Amino acid sequence: MTSRASALATLNDERGPDADGTPVRSPGTRSGDSGVPPLRAVPQHPSGLDDDELAAFGAAMDRLREGILASRGREDAAYIHRVIDIQRRLEAGGRLALFAGVFPPAWVAGTAMLATAKILENMEIGHNVMHGQWDWMRDPEIHSSTWEWDNACPSEQWKHSHNDVHHTWTNVVGKDRDIGYGVLRIDERQPWSKAALGQPVYALVLALLFQWGVALHDVEVDEVLRGERSKEETRRKLGQIARKGGRQVLKDYVLFPALAGPFFGPVLAGNLAANLVRNLWSFTIIFCGHFPDGVAQFTTDDVEDETRAGWYARQVMGSANIEGSGLFHVLSGNLSHQIEHHLFPDLPSNRYGELASDVRAACERFGIPYNSKRLSKQFGSVLGRIARRALPG
């Protein structure tokens, strides 16, 4: 095994991974995961790395981040402008085609275009713009402070529940409300009750109505029921959701169908189908990013006094990548590079692909598990987990 000193030396000079690629240490020392007892009494980071190793890993991640910041520029801006342009053309084209939706080919084409537009808007554009990935362009129209996405969830609430809560507390049980979205039991440390038996059905319903699940997410219904949220705050949030969701419903299910006059049926059906496809797709990508087997959940003890480096390591352990083609990555909002997204949530998404190989190499060197598999594997694993956790244990 390479000594830590040489691993540090390798990291400190910029040549990249160890020539022989030997891991610094073996993976799998997460407490409670294997039989290896922690050697020290001081709380250890769940990655099993000691402080120096963690610091070196953190420094390596910081250098990757610096590299992207230094080279961010014209081509990246051109990329997001192009995606936005394509998205708007698809949306306009899809809606036009649906007006001719009595002809089945036009309906299929229109629905496919509209569904793709909604997927692009929510994932590669909206989600990433709201993360501030494009704020550096200083374009007030493509800015996290102004973007409102094509989704029932008000941007302001999304930015709180997602950017703030989920990205800070990634996979910390009891803190990260994205674990099972408050309805599913994903980790054995979440308490079991009889209600969990129905969770394969809940999962299906959540997937079908995902944008509404996301919309209600920040209201924290369970905490409201327990009286832990102020009535005023809850009322304000529900009001926002009603207005935003209302506008979405009005547009997709009333105005556009009405504009089609006698052909309102196909337009309504097309819009419903497009929203449904977007819901299923985003549910799939998001669940595959955090809940396949092998992805770690953490306890609040794990994150006590966590350093930035420790946070980095937790992001890797708490996320999973999905392998696929370039088009697949764009359509998943580059959340197929979930690990890189969690490490660097505000770097432009089009750069995650090139970061992935460096991140993976660093993780292998330090023995931090890096979970990356095909969509079918990851999704199968997620479904298996939802089913398993329906039962106690």
Partner 1 sequence: MFTSVLDRRIGGIIDRAFGGTAGQPSGGMARLGSSLSSPLPVDAFLRLVDPLWSSTTCRARVEHVQRETPDAVTIVLRPGRGWGRHRPGQWVALGVDIDGVRHRRPYSITSVPGAAGGRVSLTVQEVPGGAVSPFLVRRLEVGDIVHLDQPQGSFTLDHGDPQGLTGESPAAVPTLFVTGGSGITPVVGIIRSLTAGTVAEAGTTDRPSTIGVTSAGSPPLDAEPPPLDAVLLHHATSEERSLFTAELRAAALAHPGLRFELVITGSGPVPSELALTPERLDTLCPDWRDREIWTCGPEPLTAALQRAAAGCTRGLHFEEFQAAPRAVGVDVVSGRVRFARSGIEVQSDGTVPLLQLAEDAGLAPRHGCRMGICHTCVVPVTSGATVDLRDGHVRRDPGDFVQICVSAPCGDLEIDL
Judged by the rule CB under 8 A, the positions of this chain that interact with partner 1 are 72-78, 85, 88-89, 91-92, 132, 135-140, 143-145, 148-150, 244, 247-248, 250-251, 255-256, 259
Sign of CA dihedral 367, 368, 374, 376: positive
Classify residue 143 as exposed, middle or buried by CB count within 10 Å of its CB (0-12, 13-18, 19+).
middle
The partner residues of 323 in beta bridges, in order of sequence, read 374
User: Structure tokens of 2?
Assistant: 């390479």
Shortest Cβ 27–partner 1 spacing (Å): 35
Shortest Cβ 76–partner 1 spacing (Å): 6
Shortest Cβ 130–partner 1 spacing (Å): 12
The partner residues of 321 in beta bridges, in order of sequence, read 372
Q: Which is nearer to partner 1, 91 or 218 (CB)?
A: 91
Shortest Cβ 79–partner 1 spacing (Å): 9
Q: Which is nearer to partner 1, 243 or 388 (CB)?
A: 243
Helix segments in the chain, DSSP class H: 4-12, 51-71, 74-99, 104-119, 128-130, 155-158, 167-168, 199-208, 210-217, 221-225, 231-249, 256-259, 264-290, 308-317, 326-331, 338-343, 352-366, 375-388
Shortest Cβ 135–partner 1 spacing (Å): 4
Pairwise CA distance, residues 27 & 40, whole Å: 17
172, 241, 92, 128 alpha-carbon torsion, rounded to 10°: -30
Residue 333: left if φ>0, alpha if ψ -120 to 50, beta else—which one? left
Q: Which is nearer to partner 1, 79 or 192 (CB)?
A: 79
Shortest Cβ 86–partner 1 spacing (Å): 11
For residue 307, report the phi and psi dihedrals to the nearest 5 degrees: -85, 170
User: Structure tokens of 65?
Assistant: 């981040």
Q: Which is nearer to partner 1, 85 or 222 (CB)?
A: 85
Shortest Cβ 32–partner 1 spacing (Å): 34
**CA 370 from chain center: how many Å?**
16
Candidates 94, 147, 95, 158; CA nearest to 125 is: 147
Residue 13: left if φ>0, alpha if ψ -120 to 50, beta else—which one? beta
Q: Which is nearer to partner 1, 248 or 297 (CB)?
A: 248
**CA 301 from chain center: how many Å?**
24
Shortest Cβ 344–partner 1 spacing (Å): 14
Q: Which is nearer to partner 1, 120 or 320 (CB)?
A: 120
Shortest Cβ 216–partner 1 spacing (Å): 18
Q: Which is nearer to partner 1, 134 or 352 (CB)?
A: 134
Q: Which is nearer to partner 1, 293 or 346 (CB)?
A: 346
Q: Which is nearer to partner 1, 163 or 190 (CB)?
A: 163
Pairwise CA distance, residues 370 & 351, whole Å: 18
Give the max Cα distance, the chain: 75
For residue 304, report the phi and psi dihedrals to the nearest 5 degrees: -65, 135
Shortest Cβ 369–partner 1 spacing (Å): 32
**CA 28 from chain center: how many Å?**
24
DSSP class of residue 365 equals H
Q: Which is nearer to partner 1, 120 or 362 (CB)?
A: 120
